[in-house]
């Protein structure tokens, strides 16, 4: 094994001949889970659910203890990952399945950067950044989409696995389209004659706890109405394997050239429908079963890298788009079967929340032969991956908000960011600065699911997370000057550009 650091020559994709003979630019794979908690991974929290394959990335790489998603929900997080911009700049919020693309076609993006450096680029899995302009015709080519954002190859779901259209879209085309059974989608009203979960509970194999009572696919009620495309509709039990198959096919196809893959797992987002091989395999019910399934997918993926001899030349990053949630709208017994498991680890609350459980997520990076295994306390965010990979490839930081934290990511420095804004529903922001977290007074608006704590309060909240990791003691009244300073810092960033 070599532990020397790969260095780019003058420009990206321009290795010296000697270096080229030795090795080429590293492949980059970002594996992003959906709603997975810090405490759901055994590398971070022993005694909970066992995730041996995700733990492999941790054991062979760096385990970041202060790694963040940009937001406490999906769309805004993913927007920041791909653009290096804070989500509130675009007003990015959870999108419906028929929403237009929210990343401007002219905006520099992470996949465009990789492409400009000679990488083959691909995205497989959950997209949730909108597709098309205006009203999409799902029976034609859907443009703009992942290609316009910089991905040569895409195999995606338009939004979430609980939203219509319940079909896969490959390179802009619905997979399995049948012209005799055209697809129609609406988030306003149902199509005449289409059964809904609300009116036909007898057709359901999984029942909603809130919302999720509209179109039915595979016996599961969804958000939004849909008609047609019966042959094209996905089977939830197969989704993990379908994405795995596409992700590994992309790697096999591009094994001889540098590649960048964004592998966006759908687990453990609702509806939680494991493949029968995983059903009942965890003590935690369906939520645990799909985490086991996700872990298996990661293991299979790593095995393919190994079998192709690519492990040493591939940077693998594993993280989640936001923190965990238990009841997110289906009666799947996530709460009843929880036992003593703590999905967010020691952090307070989870998905949707302004508390740390909303955004403080698993963040692992493995670069075998180049990065020494270990643990890092550096403050890093998914928001910074674009700027940091640019630095790795010898390019300027073209992002508005991302910081180059490459040295921290590669374990060469214990320091990452000094401060970071975090996004909560309603584009409310939180400031983390060193060990301090300041939650500005917030209006009680923006989505969240009780009994999760939203973290929104009328009064300012301040926590020192080194002393109080669970954010139990609001010390704002004891630190008025710090509150004032952090309040000003938030305002300056928000109003500054
Ligand atoms: C909410 C959904 C929730 C989930 C979330 C987005 C209801 C009642 N709840 O509106 O189930 O889909 O949106 O999750 O509809 S995310 O991980 O994609 O941000
Ligand atoms: Ca999510």
Q: What is the pLDDT of residue 444?
A: 72
Task: Confirm if 194 and 215 have CB atoms less than 8 A apart.
Answer: yes
Residue 197: inside a domain: no
Is 493 in contact with 421 (CB distance < 8 Å)?
yes
Which region, left, alpha or beta, applies to residue 449 given φ > 0 means left and ψ of -120 to 50 means alpha? beta
| Smallest CA separation from ligand 1 atom 17, residue | 74
Structure token pair of residue 466: 């080194």
Question: 170-175 long-range CB contacts below 8 Å, 24 or more apart?
Answer: 171/147, 172/141, 172/142, 172/143, 172/145, 172/146, 172/147, 173/141, 173/142, 174/138, 174/139, 174/142, 174/229, 174/232, 175/232
d(CA 81, CA 32): 10
215 in a structural domain: no
Please name every residue paired with 232 in a beta bridge, in sequence order, or none if there are none: none
Is there a single domain that holds both residue 135 and residue 33? Answer: yes
The reply to whether 119 and 240 lie within a common domain is yes
In a domain, 141, yes or no: yes
pLDDT tier, 7 (very low <50, low <70, confident <90, very high otherwise): very low
- Indicate the average pLDDT of the chain: 94
- In the DSSP assignment, the letter for residue 410 is T
SS3 content of the chain, % helix, strand, coil (to 5): 25, 20, 55
Quick check: CB of 211 below 6 Å from ligand 1?
yes
Q: What is the DSSP letter of 196?
A: B
Taking residue 147's Cβ as centre, other Cβ atoms within 10 Å add up to 17
What percentage of the chain exceeds 70 in pLDDT? Answer: 95
Q: How many CB atoms lie within 10 A of CB 496?
A: 6
CATH number (domain holding residue 245): 3.40.720.10
- Assess whether pLDDT exceeds 60 at residue 2: no
Amino acid 16: pLDDT: 41
| Residue 94 alpha carbon, nearest atom of ligand 1 | 19
Q: Specify the pLDDT at position 15.
A: 43
pLDDT at position 22 is 47
The 10s digit of each residue's pLDDT in 73-116 is: 999 999 999 999 999 999 999 999 999 999 999 999 999 999 99
Which residue has the least CA distance to atom 16 on ligand 1? 74
How far is Cα 209 from Cα 217, in angstroms, rounded to an integer? 17
For residues 427 and 408, state if they share a domain.
no
User: Is residue 142 very low, low, confident or very high in pLDDT (cuts 50, 70, 90)?
Assistant: very high
Q: Which of 373, 394, 416 is the last residue of a domain?
A: 416
Residue 183 CA to ligand 2 centre (angstroms):
26
Closest C-alpha residue for ligand 1 atom 5: 94
Residue 397 shares a structural domain with residue 468: no
Q: Are residues 101 and 53 in the same domain?
A: yes
Q: Looking at the domain assignment, is residue 384 inside a domain? A: yes
What's the pLDDT at 443? 78
334 CA distance to ligand 1 middle (Å): 16
Predicted local confidence at residue 23, as pLDDT = 60
Q: Residue 463: which CATH number?
A: 3.30.1120.10
Interhelix angle 286-307/239-253, nearest 10 degrees = 20
269 CA closest ligand 1 atom index: 17
Q: Is 162 touching ligand 1 by the criterion CB < 6 Å?
A: yes
pLDDT at 18: 40
Query: Are 409 and 436 found together in one domain?
Result: no
Looking from the CA of residue 75, the nearest atom of ligand 1 is 19
Q: Which of 305, 135, 181, 156 is nearest to 242 (CA)?
A: 156
The predicted pLDDT at position 12 comes to 56
CA–centroid distance, 328 to ligand 1, in Å, is 7
**In what helix (H) or strand (E) does residue 295 lie, and over which residues does it extend?**
helix 286-307
Is residue 174 in some structural domain?
yes
Secondary structure (3-state) at 327: coil
The predicted structure's pLDDT at residue 21: 40
Q: 33 CA distance to ligand 2 centroid (A)?
A: 8
Rounded mean pLDDT, 56-75: 98
Distance from the alpha carbon of residue 327 to the mean position of ligand 1, in angstroms: 11
Atom of ligand 1 nearest to the CA of 328: 11
Q: Report whether pLDDT(3) > 70.
A: no
Answer yes or no: is the C-beta of 73 below 6 A from any ligand 1 atom.
yes
Closest CA to 69 of 82, 58, 81: 81
**Are both 136 and 176 inside the same structural domain?**
yes
CA-closest candidate to residue 332, choices 292, 284, 294, 291: 284
Tell which atom from ligand 1 comes closest to the C-alpha of 35: 17
In a domain, 115, yes or no: yes
Over residues 303-313, the mean pLDDT reads: 97
429 and 354 share one domain? no
5 pLDDT higher than 80: no
Final residue in a domain of this structure, among 394, 416, 438: 416
Residues of the domain holding 473: 421-495
Cα separation of 233 and 237, whole Å? 12
Q: Are 446 and 468 in contact (CB under 8 A)?
A: no
Instruction: Let me know: does 216 contact 335? Beta carbons within 8 Å.
Output: no
Q: Do residues 391 and 317 share a domain?
A: yes
270 lines ligand 1 (CB under 6 A): yes
Is 94 close to ligand 1, i.e. is its CB under 6 Å away? yes
Q: What is the pLDDT of residue 497?
A: 56
What is the C-alpha to C-alpha distance for residues 86 and 146, in angstroms, rounded to an integer? 20
Q: What's the pLDDT band for 19 if we cut at 50, 70, 90?
A: very low
Q: Is 218 domain-assigned?
A: no
Distances (CA, A) of 76 to 32, 92, 163, 303: 14, 5, 17, 31
The CB of 35 under 6 Å from ligand 1? The reply is yes
34 lines ligand 1 (CB under 6 A): yes
Gap from CA of 34 to ligand 2 centroid (Å): 4
- R_g over Cα of the chain: 22
Q: So what's the pLDDT on residue 434? A: 97
CA of 352 to the centre of ligand 1 (A): 9
Residues 227-237, mean pLDDT to the nearest whole number: 98
Nearest CA to ligand 1 atom 7: 211
Q: Model confidence over 151-181: pLDDT tens digits?
A: 999 999 999 999 999 999 999 999 999 999 9
**Residues 267, 293 contacting (CB under 8 angstroms):** yes
Tell which of 387, 416, 445 closes a domain.
416
Whether 301 maps to a domain, the answer reads yes
Q: Which ligand is nearest to the CA of 33?
A: 2
Q: Is 213 in the pocket of ligand 1 (CB under 6 A)?
A: no
Number of domains comprising the chain = 2
Q: Are residues 389 and 459 in the same domain?
A: no
Same domain, 141 and 259: yes
Please indicate whether residue 74, judged by its CB atom, sits closer than 6 Å to ligand 1.
yes
Residue 47 has pLDDT above 80, yes or no: no
Over residues 187-197, the pLDDT tens digits come to: 999 999 999 99
Whether 363 and 323 share a structural domain: yes
């Amino acid at each position: 094994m070599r532990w020397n650091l790969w260095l780019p020559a003058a420009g990206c994709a321009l290795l010296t001949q000697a270096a080229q003979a030795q090795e080429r630019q590293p492949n980059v794979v970002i594996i992003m889970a959906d709603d997975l908690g810090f405490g759901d991974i055994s590398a971070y929290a022993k005694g909970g659910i066992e995730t041996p394959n995700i733990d492999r990335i941790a054991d062979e790489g760096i385990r970041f203890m202060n790694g963040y998603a940009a937001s406490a929900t999906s769309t805004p997080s993913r927007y920041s990952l791909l653009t290096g911009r804070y989500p509130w700049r675009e007003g990015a919020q959870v999108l419906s399945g028929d929403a237009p693309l929210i990343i401007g076609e002219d905006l520099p993006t992470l996949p465009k950067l990789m492409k400009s450096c000679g990488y083959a680029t691909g995205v497989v899995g959950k997209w949730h950044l909108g597709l098309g302009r205006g009203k999409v015709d799902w029976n034609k080519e859907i443009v703009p989409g992942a290609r316009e954002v910089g991905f040569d190859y895409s195999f995606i779901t338009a939004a979430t696995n609980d939203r219509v259209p319940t079909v896969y879209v490959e390179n802009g085309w619905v997979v399995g389209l049948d012209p005799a059974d055209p697809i129609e989608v609406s988030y306003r009203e149902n199509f005449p004659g289409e059964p809904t979960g609300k009116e036909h509970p007898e057709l359901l194999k999984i029942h909603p706890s809130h919302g999720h009572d509209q179109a039915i696919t595979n016996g599961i009620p969804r958000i939004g109405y849909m008609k047609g495309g019966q042959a094209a509709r996905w089977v939830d039990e197969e989704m993990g394997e379908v994405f795995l198959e596409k992700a590994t096919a992309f790697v096999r196809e591009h094994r001889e050239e540098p590649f960048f893959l964004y592998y966006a797992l759908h687990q453990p987002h609702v509806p939680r429908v494991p493949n029968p091989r995983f059903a009942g395999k965890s003590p935690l019910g369906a939520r645990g079963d799909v985490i086991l399934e996700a872990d298996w997918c990661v293991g299979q993926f790593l095995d393919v890298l190994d079998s192709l001899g690519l492990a040493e030349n591939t940077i693998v990053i594993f993280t989640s788009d936001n923190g965990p949630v238990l009841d997110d709208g289906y009666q799947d017994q996530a709460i009843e079967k929880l036992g003593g498991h703590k999905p967010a680890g020691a952090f307070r609350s989870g998905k949707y929340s302004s508390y740390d459980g909303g955004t403080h997520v698993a963040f692992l990076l493995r670069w075998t032969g180049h990065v020494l295994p270990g643990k890092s306390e550096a403050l890093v965010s998914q928001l910074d991956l674009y700027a940091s990979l640019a630095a790795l490839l010898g390019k300027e930081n073209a992002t508005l908000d991302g910081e180059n934290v490459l040295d921290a990511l590669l374990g060469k420095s214990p320091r990452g960011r000094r401060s970071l804004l975090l996004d909560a529903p309603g584009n409310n922001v939180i400031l983390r600065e060193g060990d301090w977290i300041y939650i500005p007074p917030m209006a009680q608006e923006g989505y969240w699911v009780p009994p999760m704590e939203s973290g929104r309060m009328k009064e300012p909240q301040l926590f020192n997370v080194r002393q109080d990791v669970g954010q139990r003691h609001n010390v704002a009244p004891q630190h008025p000057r710090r509150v004032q300073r952090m309040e000003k810092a938030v305002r300056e960033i928000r109003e500054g550009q």
